[in-house]
Amino acid sequence: MPDNSIHGRFPGYNVLAKRNTPSWNEQTRQVIDRRLTTPREPRFLNEHEWLTLAAVSGRIIPQPAYRPPVPIAGLVDGKLLANAGDGYRNASMPPLREAWRRGLGALDAEAEEAHGAPFHRLTPQQMDALLTRAQEGELKSHAWGGMPCDMFFKERLLHDIVHAYYSHPSSWDEIGWGGPASPRGYVRMGFNKRDPWEAAEIHDGDVEGAYRENRHVR
């Protein structure tokens, strides 16, 4: 995991520095190691579905250029491979795998009808316009098979993509989160309080001060 240097609100913070400290136990380390080695190629989806998922993920969460991107598509694909449902499902939505496959196919069908190309070949502006119409419930292709496009956008696209992104240590560096604090836990629970093993945020423009503190966070 690269040092984020002076980037972001928590300069110099690297959550993986906690790996062999009391902040994390062995179970935590194993979970994080699996996320860090997430494949960047499909295991459940086919190649075309994968390209559409990757393109959608890039529009839902654009990623910074100063570090390798979080493998969002790989994390979502892994959820589909494991068929790891959420424990609940809206009655208007099909099961997890079917919802994703139908939704990705429908986005491609809408893209072909509107622009004569699959979704991943559209311009960023065209992708955003189609996703906005999905969010607003305006897409009507037969490929949706009765699945509401706005529900697919809300309960699968946003839900799974955002959850995947914020399950990865790279995003934890951006928000100053230390990961699951097991077994150490957190002590200073009051407003605007920080334990010494939590990331220091920039205050009053003091980038160097936050950087110095974060270089020693364990």
Residues β-bridged to residue 24: 182
Inter-helix orientation angle 47-60/72-82, to 10°: 130
Average pLDDT, the chain: 92
User: What's the pLDDT band for 197 if we cut at 50, 70, 90?
Assistant: confident
- What pTM did the predictor assign? 0.90
Which pair of tokens denotes residue 6?
């002076």
Say which residues have a Cβ less than 8 Å from residue 31's Cβ, sequence separation at least 6: 180
Q: CB of 163 within 8 A of CB of 171?
A: no
From 184, 43, 178, 59, select the one nearest 126 (Cα to Cα): 59
> For the segment 157-184, what is each residue's pLDDT rounded down to a tens digit?
999 999 999 999 999 999 999 888 778 7
Closest among 83, 76, 125 to 104, alpha carbons compared: 76
DSSP state of 8: S
Confidence of residue 6 (pLDDT cuts 50, 70, 90): low
